[in-house]
């Protein structure tokens, strides 16, 4: 019996490195940041390792530290003070709101950064849903009008990309229309295939955006669907998305692969979401896995599936390691 020998390809670290087909670079990472109104110093988010609520000042310091690691892309989430939340989320598009001020300030201090802003209403509505409600159900068409205004507000502040995550039908179209009308050529990173996931828990603590009742299953994708996800991506590209996102990334690697194969010209980002990240953290805190090893493995899996960019809370840890390896 003749058989092929594979062990020589894995013999030692050097050989393994030489045979690696997938690589991570610091330029692959987009790092999420939370800026909160009404706090006087940065506050760690409970049970969300390494994630903080920032003031405008600590946000600037944080970006400076991350830039020194080589991370230059950031996804910004604004958290208004309680009195700025309302039924119709007016503060989400108020000129001079927390996101507007943050983008302005960051672009002033670090013109080289690429800023993505999350465009959603869940942190701005009193009920925590991603859209406007009429008798407890989402009014899609009223919501996309508002999302257009939110995106325009972020564009006016100088955001490079707006990232609509509300999963309203036609949201990319409405945003593109309004940006065009107002004369902004800001790009759109569409949360194209965003599934209704149980892995968003730590994020909702961080964004103070837990729905007061019900869930998001009427607007986010059902985990048992494939073709709806593909179709949502197709619609978003047709409506004017520049990049698309699959979310969550780790649990939906197949959708990243499909997106890459079906839409090879559109950059794909995978969002390694809060619960996926904390799942690895808790596993390692119990001594059941090595924190760095599981992080690398999962990020390689996301990259291997075809993601061009990875939105990840672990970006600084990984970037630090990449920096040490190359120095």
Task: Out of 194, 260, 286, 321, pick the active-site residue.
Answer: 194
286 sits in which H/E element: none
Instruction: Say which residues have a Cβ less than 8 Å from residue 173's Cβ, sequence separation at least 6.
Output: 144, 239, 240
Window 121-150: residues binding ligand PBG (CB under 6 A): 122, 130
Backbone angles phi, psi at 208, to 5 degrees: 50, 55
Q: Quick count: other Cβ atoms within 10 Å of Cβ 39?
A: 15
φ, ψ of residue 46 to 5 degrees: the values are -60, 135
**Number of residues near ligand PBG (by CB under 6 A):** 11
Site for ligand PBG in 240-279 (CB under 6 A): 273-274
Could you confirm whether 247 is annotated as catalytic?
yes
Among 200, 219, 243, 309, binds ligand PBG (CB under 6 A): 200
* Cα distances (angstroms) measured from residue 17 to each of 6, 12, 13, 218, 299: 15, 9, 6, 45, 16
Closest CA to 251 of 226, 276, 274, 268: 276
Interaction between residue 118 and ligand PBG (CB under 6 A): yes
How many angstroms separate the CA atoms of 266 and 285, rounded?
38
121 vs 146: CA distance, rounded Å: 9
Smallest gap from residue 184 Cβ to ligand PBG (A): 22
Q: Considering the rule CB under 6 A, would residue 281 count as an interface residue with ligand PBG?
A: no
- Mark the segment that binds ligand PBG (CB under 6 A) among 56-64, 95-103, 199-207, 292-300: 199-207
For ligand PBG, the closer of residues 106 and 245 by Cβ is 245
CA 327 to chain centre: 29
Site string for ligand PBG, 151-180 (x = CB under 6 A): --------------x---------------
In the bound complex, what is the minimum distance in angstroms from residue 165's beta carbon to ligand PBG?
4
The one among 100, 203, 219, 252 contacting ligand PBG by CB under 6 A: 203
Cβ-closest residue to ligand PBG?
Answer: 203
CA 85 centroid distance within chain: 22
C-beta closer to ligand PBG: residue 121 or 233 = 121
3 state SS of 74: strand
Under the binding rule (CB under 6 A), the answer on residue 216 touching ligand PBG is yes
Asked about 217 being catalytic, the answer comes back as no
Binder among 42, 127, 204, 321 for ligand PBG (CB under 6 A): 204
Q: CA of 114: how far to CAs of 74, 119, 240, in Å?
A: 6, 16, 19
Q: For ligand PBG, which is the closer residue by CB, 129 or 260?
A: 129
- Binding residues for ligand PBG, rule: CB under 6 A, are 118, 120, 122, 130, 165, 200, 203-204, 216, 273-274
Catalytic positions:
194, 247
């Amino acid at each position: 019996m003749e058989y092929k020998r594979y062990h020589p390809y894995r013999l030692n670290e050097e050989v393994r490195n030489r045979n690696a087909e997938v690589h991570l670079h610091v330029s692959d990472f987009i790092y999420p940041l939370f800026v909160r109104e009404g706090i006087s110093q940065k506050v760690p988010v409970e049970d969300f390792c390494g994630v903080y609520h920032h003031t405008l000042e600590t946000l600037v310091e944080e970006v400076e530290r991350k830039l020194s690691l080589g991370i230059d892309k950031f996804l910004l989430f604004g958290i208004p003070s309680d009195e700025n939340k309302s039924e119709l989320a007016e503060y989400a598009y108020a000129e001079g709101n927390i996101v507007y001020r943050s983008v302005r300030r960051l672009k002033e201090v670090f013109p080289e950064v690429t800023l993505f802003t999350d465009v959603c209403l869940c942190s701005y509505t009193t009920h925590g849903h991603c859209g406007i409600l009429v008798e407890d159900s989402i009014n899609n068409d009223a919501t996309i009008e508002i999302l257009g205004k939110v995106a325009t507000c972020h564009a006016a502040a100088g955001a490079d990309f707006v990232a609509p995550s509300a999963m309203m039908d036609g949201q990319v179209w409405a945003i593109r229309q309004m940006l065009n009308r107002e004369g902004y050529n800001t790009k759109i990173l569409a949360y194209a295939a965003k599934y209704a996931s149980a892995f968003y828990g730590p994020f909702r603590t961080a964004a103070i955006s837990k729905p007061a009742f019900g869930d998001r299953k009427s607007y986010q994708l059902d985990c048992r669907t494939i073709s709806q996800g593909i179709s949502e991506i197709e619609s978003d590209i047709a409506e004017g998305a520049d990049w698309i996102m699959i979310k969550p990334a780790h649990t939906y690697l197949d959708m990243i692969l499909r997106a890459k194969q079906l839409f090879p010209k559109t950059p794909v980002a995978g969002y390694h979401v809060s619960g996926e990240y904390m799942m690895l953290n808790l596993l390692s805190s119990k001594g059941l896995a090595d924190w760095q090893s599981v992080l690398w493995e999962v990020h390689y899996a996301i990259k291997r599936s075809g993601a061009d960019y990875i939105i990840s809370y672990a970006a600084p840890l990984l970037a630090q390691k990449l920096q040490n390896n190359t120095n």
